[in-house]
Amino acid sequence: MRGAKNGWTLLLLVLAGVVLGGFIGSLAANVSGLSWLNYGQAFGLENPLVLSLGLVVLTFGLTIKITIASIIGIVLAILIYRWI
């Protein structure tokens, strides 16, 4: 099974690491000793882009918040991928 690594597995593990890291960071935001885990930067579109085509209205928006906990989650996901 060690030779069955592929890019999709890595992508899923990294996405899981980002989500779990962000979740842990938001939980730790109110804990005095762990609030540093929620420190980070958000970037993206502040106001969504709206495209009105008459019959259909499309709204585009993307905001990404990178925190210390999500970076730790990414690193752990890569380590798990290498270990599998």
Mean pLDDT by 10 residues, the chain (84 residues): 74 93 90 90 90 93 91 94 87
Tell me, what's the pLDDT at 41? 92
Q: What is the pTM of this model?
A: 0.76
Q: How far apart are CA 2 and CA 18, in angstroms?
A: 24
Q: Give the total number of structural domains in the chain.
A: 1
> What residue numbers bound the domain in which 47 lies?
7-83
Q: Is residue 2 part of a domain?
A: no
Q: How far apart are CA 9 and CA 1, in angstroms?
A: 13
Sign of CA pseudo-dihedral 28, 31, 34, 37: positive
Q: Is residue 1 part of a domain?
A: no
